[in-house]
Amino acid sequence: MADIALRFGLDPLIVDFVQKIIISLMIGILIGLERERLRSDIKIFAGVRTFTLICIIGMLSAFLMDYAGPSILLITTIFVGVTCIFLAYNMNIVQGSSGLTTSISLFCTYLLGILVAADLFVIAIVTAVIVTFLLIEKKPLHSLAENLSERDIIDALQFIAIAFILYPVVPDEPVFGIISLKSTIMIIVLISSISFVSYVLLKKIGARGGIAYSGFLGGLASSGAAIISLSNLSKRRASLAGHICTGALLTIVSMIIRDITFAFLVDTSGRMAVLMLPPFVIMLIVTLMIVWRKRKTTVVNETIELRSPFAIVPALKFGILFMLITLVANIAQTQGGSIGIYATAIGGIVSSSAVTVSMASLALNGTISYPLAAQIAVMAGLISTLAKPLYMKLTGADQLFHKATIHFVIITSLGAVSLLIWSYYAASVNL
């Protein structure tokens, strides 16, 4: 901006000031308009003009610190803070309303103006968009929270508290020179967060989405747990075996989406995820074709019950499995080379996601090659798919087992053939 000012003979200070005024104006208007839209329903005490002025005040006070000293920022901060307190008092005590959202968002807008003065334009604008989104999505967010039980919320708080207490305490050095505990904690938090989103969606949609949606969303949270829950349902309502079979098949779609997503999150270059795609795409297409042929015209209002992924026990199990697979893979690589490491794919019986994350981590560290990591991850997915009918046999009705087994065997077989062909092609062109 200074270069443009000099080119046109303008004062760089003036140009910089005008730029910051405009950005502050835009941020204030953006958040203020959201508050203004409530005017038709309730009496509001801070609209477009108030939010815009507060943002400009924040920018001006920080901008003038070099000329008037830091006291001006202190004075304006106290002024805005008192204004927000008065606003909250007026709304909650005098007017009899409830809530602190407007007061908090007003002070937040003031801070955004300070960020603008500090030339942190991108941070200020992104934060303004997030704040506006949170204000707009009040009803959906409240509705989402209402679908969570007290146990779900407590589990989530305990999980987050333990994770972030442990993170700074654990050593930076890898255990046995292999497993980084800090990385393990962050991976568990990330994967549990994604699974929790699926879990909340499942709770929100509930029985209205039918068994098919329950199978798909439940599979995104945990395909193994979803299969067991669907199998238990088949014992209670054997007449719904066809619908439950469709829901069970959709857990394969969920598993594929999960595993590819997790591979990409660990290895952000996307190389491993791309190498996993061809055989998984074949499995996905075959699964969807079978589901399409088996589709039911009526939606059965049933859902499945799962444990929150933010509960300590499921997260701990995933973490232990992830570390065990990583440790075994390293030992197998050392003792038996590439052939030995293929044995870790058996972990797909418990969790193909844990195997995928472990392989992506090892490939990222250079312990194994990307093609080998992708092959083992897909093999874990195939083993997980083939293990699902066994879960049905152990926990569900015989009718469900007989209906589903042939479909799962076909999907696994075609996936295995496509993996062999793809592996041969990838080796021949040295991918």
pLDDT digits (tens, 9 = 90+) for 95-143: 666 667 778 888 899 999 999 898 888 888 888 888 877 776 555 545 5
On whether both 186 and 123 belong to a single domain, the answer is: no
User: Which range marks the domain in which residue 94 is found?
Assistant: 2-136
Sign (positive or negative) of CA dihedral 257, 262, 268, 269: negative
On whether both 188 and 258 belong to a single domain, the answer is: yes
On whether both 161 and 102 belong to a single domain, the answer is: no
Dist CA 398 CA 93 (whole Å): 63
Neighbours of 288 (CB within 10 A): 14
DSSP string of 30-75?
A: HHHHHHHTTTTTS--S--HHHHHHHHHHHHHHHHTHHHH-THHHHH
On whether both 158 and 252 belong to a single domain, the answer is: yes
Question: Quick one: three-class SS letters along 328-391?
Answer: HHHHHHHHHHHHHHHHHHHHHHCCHHHHHHHHHHHHHCCCCCHHHHHHHHHHHHHHHHHHHHHH
User: Locate tokens 């000293």: which residue?
Assistant: 69
- Looking at 70, 101, 136, the residue that finishes a domain is 136
Confidence of residue 162 (pLDDT cuts 50, 70, 90): low
User: Locate tokens 């730029």: which residue?
Assistant: 19
Q: What is the DSSP letter of 175?
A: B
On whether both 314 and 335 belong to a single domain, the answer is: yes
Confidence of residue 207 (pLDDT cuts 50, 70, 90): very low
The structural domain count of the chain equals 2
pLDDT digits (tens, 9 = 90+) for 68-95: 888 888 989 999 888 888 888 877 676 6
| pTM for this prediction | 0.59
The whole-number average pLDDT for the span 243-268 is 85
